[in-house]
Amino acid sequence: MKTQPGLDPAIASNAIATASDAEIAAQSTTGQAAASLQWQDAGAASLSIASKHKKSAHNVSTEPSVSGSAYAAMHKWRRSPQVKPTELTRFFQQTASLLQAGIPLGRALEILHDSAHSKDLAQLSRSVGAEILGGHPLSDALQPALGNTEQYAVALIRVGEQCGRLEAVLTRLANDREKAKTLRRRVTKAMTQPSLVFLTAIGVTAILLAKVVPQFELMFQSFDKELPALTQLVIQASMVMRDFGLPVLGFGIMLTVVLRILQSQNSKVRMASHRLLCGLPLFGPLVRDYNIARFAVTLLTAYASGVTVVEALSLARATTTNRCYANAIEALSEVITQGQSLYTSMATEPLFPPLLCQIVRIGEETGSLENMLAKASAHYTTSVDDQVDRILQFIEPGLMIFLGVFVGGLILALYMPIFQMGAVLG
């Protein structure tokens, strides 16, 4: 990177090293003014640099004109933990808003750093600004912070830079991430809340069997009359719990850990678990609609950003966590590269519902694929919300009834002999 005419190289080096708080404090007034000027110049030039060529990661790390302190700061950031998803979404939103207001990218990042309410956002703005100050495009500057899990965002930002639509792409990315977060929260609520109620019932029952029933058993030994069948059954269950409860619990935990490890490392086990999840009688439709909604939203964001359908499908596959749908999307890409339309390729995959296929067909025939994908994403997002509400309305009363009957029956079994003894004495 070339310094401005008449600007001392040492001052330029200090300006580039704004990623270090200690150096910021040690800069002189002249160095600070030069740094601010270079922030703005770098922001104005970043889009044109990105549109001409894409710098590789090797070029980013070996830029000869970057000072040693700034170079160390950037590589320190590369070794730092990745940014939290919520902070990254906020970064996209605020950067897009500042760019839409006509503020150069470099100056926008400086404003974000000065006004950041969290340490992660301030660190991200400072580190990305240091690389942009070195002449690198935003996509390359974000690469170390985003890592391999956010290649979808990096690719779209690179397309936005090359097409001169960076602010629009950042806005779409932020909206996409917000929709994904909302969908994920709704699905998680539908699947965890019933599980918590069920686990609570199991825990209360285990405590009663292990701690309370033995006390009643000692009292029942003094009774001459035969205990009711329900009470005998509860006492036998208590004995089994005391003898085998801990080994069974340990085995269950170990089995869960082993299955999780196999699912994360073995593609066949992961595929089988995802296929089983899609086929569950109550949660299967919710899982399928959730994956379709995420597919439609991601495909819409990528396609509207200016990439081809094949590239958009590749990005959609990268963001899909369900292996069944990831393989189906990969099959779509292979068929489209052979000259088939998106609708034709989707019609051959049973995981894509007929309604989505017809929406895509209309979009392709009328040349309004972007608008039709927006309608599809809205429809399936609403469908996920409706299914979550239905599941909760169905499961919550059922679990409460189950909990009342189960625990209530257990208490009744313990007090039945006492009631019988009271009736005899009365």
Q: Cα separations (Å) of 268 from 275, 323, 324?
A: 10, 10, 11
Residue 2 located in a structural domain:
no
Residue 151 located in a structural domain:
yes
Write down the residue that tokens 């404090």 correspond to. 25
- Contact present, 327 and 291 (Cβ < 8 Å): no
> Which structural domain, as residue segments, surrounds residue 108?
9-164
Q: Residue 278's domain is classified under what CATH number?
A: 1.20.81.30
Closest CA to 135 of 52, 69, 78, 77: 52
What pLDDT score was predicted for residue 343? 93
212, exposed or middle or buried, with CB in 10 Å at 0-12, 13-18, 19+? Answer: middle
Residues 19 and 141 in one domain: yes
Residue 98 located in a structural domain:
yes
Residues 67 and 211 in one domain: no
What pLDDT score was predicted for residue 10? 40
Q: Please tell me the distance from the alpha carbon of residue 352 to that of residue 325, in angstroms, as a whole number.
A: 9
What pLDDT score was predicted for residue 148? 64
pLDDT in tens, 217-239: 888 887 777 888 888 888 888 89
What pLDDT score was predicted for residue 425? 52
What pLDDT score was predicted for residue 25? 36
What pLDDT score was predicted for residue 147? 67
What pLDDT score was predicted for residue 354? 93
Residues 144 and 181 in one domain: no
pTM of structure: 0.66
- Those residues of the chain that have pLDDT short of 70 are 1-82, 147-149, 422-426
What pLDDT score was predicted for residue 402? 79
Which of the listed residues 164, 186, 206 is the one where a domain comes to its end?
164
Which of the listed residues 104, 135, 164 is the one where a domain comes to its end?
164
Residue type for 403, please? L
Q: Please tell me the distance from the alpha carbon of residue 199 to that of residue 209, in angstroms, as a whole number.
A: 15
What is the number of other CB atoms lying within 10 angstroms of the CB of residue 125? 22
332, exposed or middle or buried, with CB in 10 Å at 0-12, 13-18, 19+? Answer: buried
Q: Cα separations (Å) of 87 from 91, 94, 112, 280, 415?
A: 6, 10, 12, 34, 56
Residues 189 and 112 in one domain: no
Round the CA-based radius of gyration of the chain to a whole number and report it. Answer: 30
Residues 300 and 339 in one domain: yes
Residues 282 and 331 in one domain: yes
Residue 1 located in a structural domain:
no
User: Considering its fold, how many domains does the chain have in total?
Assistant: 2
Name, in order, each residue with C-beta under 8 angstroms of 314's C-beta and a sequence gap of 6 or more.
333
